[in-house]
């Protein structure tokens, strides 16, 4: 069965797009900015809701949610669930969102032991493991986002190129099932 696509953007009503970076490096967001002058075309068709690009802090109802990064702490879980609840279509952007990516290299280590080693044993950093209640709790592993919420689309790459993101977004905004030609598909 095909994943949902939002109804095409009508001239009178722009689609709303939210983006977030969970446990990622912001490289996928940089790739989005790599669509360069096509950003001007994009803002005619859609407006950005909560996103590091707008600095809006709360989600409103959105048509498309783009998620960069995997899930490594309790705050990531909260933000991701909120985004799923507010977005008609949720897209995992990049390797970290799809399979945990580089941050998931820690998955074979014990988190408690790792923190004790870093904060207790590192020369010059002999201190307690930070435990301020404001700090989000680390999860035992870094999880792909589809292990926490339902995901409609996956765009591979580390990061996917600006051209790839442009093609995907314009397909979705145009109400079409997104299709990537071979040249736009990458896994590195």
Write the interaction track for ligand SF4 spanning residues 58-87; mark x where CB under 6 A is met and - where it is not: ----------xx------------------
Minimum CB separation from ligand SF4 for residue 183, in Å? 19
How far is CA 55 from each of CA 10, 19, 49, 50, 173, rounded to the nearest angstrom? 26, 10, 9, 7, 22
Q: Is the omega angle on the peptide bond into residue 75 within 30 degrees of 0, that is, cis?
A: no
Report, in Å, the least distance between residue 60 CB and ligand SF4: 24
Between residue 132 and residue 161, which ones bind ligand SF4 under the rule CB under 6 A?
Answer: 158-159
Stretch that binds ligand SF4, among 25-33, 34-42, 82-90, 105-113 (CB under 6 A): 25-33
Q: CB of 156: closest distance to ligand SF4 in angstroms? A: 9
Nearer to ligand SF4, 25 or 138 (CB): 25
Exposure letters 1-38 (e unless 16+ CB within 10 A, then b): eeeebbeebeeeebbbbbbbbbbbbebbbebbebbeee
Residue from 6, 24, 65, 178 touching ligand SF4 (CB under 6 A): that is: 24
Q: Which of 6, 65, 94, 144 binds ligand SF4 (CB under 6 A)?
A: 94
Q: Binding residues for ligand SF4, how many (CB under 6 A)?
A: 13
- Contacting residues for 29 by C-beta, under 8 A, at least 6 apart: 19, 21, 52, 53, 68
Which among 20-28, 104-112, 136-144, 145-153 is the span making contact with ligand SF4, rule CB under 6 A?
20-28
Please report the sign of the dihedral spanned by the C-alpha atoms of residue 71, residue 147, residue 144, residue 2: negative
Rounded CA-CA distance 75/98 in Å is: 18
Q: Are 23 and 71 contacting, i.e. CB atoms less than 8 angstroms apart?
A: yes
Find the binder of ligand SF4 among 5, 17, 91, 96 (CB under 6 A): 96
Residues that bind ligand SF4 (CB under 6 A): 24-25, 27-28, 68-69, 94-96, 101-102, 158-159
């Amino acid at each position: 069965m095909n994943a949902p696509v939002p109804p095409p953007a009508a001239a009178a009503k722009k689609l709303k797009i939210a983006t977030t970076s969970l446990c990622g490096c912001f490289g996928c967001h940089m790739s989005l900015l790599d669509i360069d002058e096509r950003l001007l075309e994009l803002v005619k068709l859609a407006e950005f809701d909560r996103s590091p690009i707008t600095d809006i802090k709360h989600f409103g109802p959105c048509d498309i949610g783009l998620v960069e990064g995997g899930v490594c702490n309790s705050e990531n879980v909260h933000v991701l669930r909120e985004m799923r609840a507010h977005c008609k279509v949720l897209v995992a952007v990049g390797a970290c969102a799809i399979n945990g990516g580089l941050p998931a290299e820690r998955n074979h280590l014990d988190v408690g032991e790792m923190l004790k080693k870093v904060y207790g044993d590192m020369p010059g950093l002999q201190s307690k493991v930070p435990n301020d209640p404001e700090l989000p709790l680390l999860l035992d592993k870094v999880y792909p986002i589809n292990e926490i919420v339902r995901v409609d689309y996956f765009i591979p790459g580390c990061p996917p190129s600006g051209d790839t993101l442009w093609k995907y977004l314009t397909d979705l905004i145009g109400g079409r099932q997104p299709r990537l030609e071979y040249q736009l598909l990458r896994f590195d």
